[in-house]
Amino acid sequence: MSPDIAHFFGTHTPRLDDKGRLFLPAKFRPQLEQGIVLTRGQDHSIYGWTTESFARFAEKAQQMPFTNKEARNFLRMLYSGAVSEVPDKQGRISIPPVLREWAGLDRECTVVGAMDRIEIWDSAAWDQFATDQEAAFSDMSNEIMPGLF
């Protein structure tokens, strides 16, 4: 693993407080203490990147052709909900109402590591997603990533 790229893995279940703040999982805090960029994620989750990982993503996104309608729509959805946060001394971040609504967050949350980003899910939605994906995950083969296994 490259030392300059954050690597997140694991599943954690912090709670959202009454003010819309989330305690980041302790294992993720050192990588996110300088800041986190939150935005709408796919499947009604919230993506969270280190500022460095988001900058790398943004460089790639700038290469997307703005004349392509799907590219424009994807970037609109992604960037219109983006916000930069710095965790407080207790490791909490505020999740803006627009993102809480997008992900259906109420109290019970699941935070999963997804390589260079984290994903924040409503726990019931995550459980349903994981259940729905179980058979497909078991059946994945070389077609997804040849030579990985």
pTM: 0.88
The share of the chain scoring above pLDDT 90, in percent, equals 74
Domains of the chain, by residue range, sit at 12-138
Distance CA 94, CA 79 (A): 17
From the list 113, 130, 84, 105, the residue with the least C-alpha distance to 26 is: 113
pLDDT score, position 38: 98
Q: Give the other-Cβ count within 10 Å of 57's Cβ.
A: 17
Distance CA 17, CA 3 (A): 33
Place of tokens 């997008």: 102
Model pLDDT for residues 27-61, shown as the tens digit of each residue: 999 999 999 999 999 999 999 999 999 999 999 98
Model pLDDT for residues 132-148, shown as the tens digit of each residue: 988 777 776 656 656 55
The CATH superfamily of 12-138 is: Transcriptional regulator MraZ domain (3.40.1550.20)
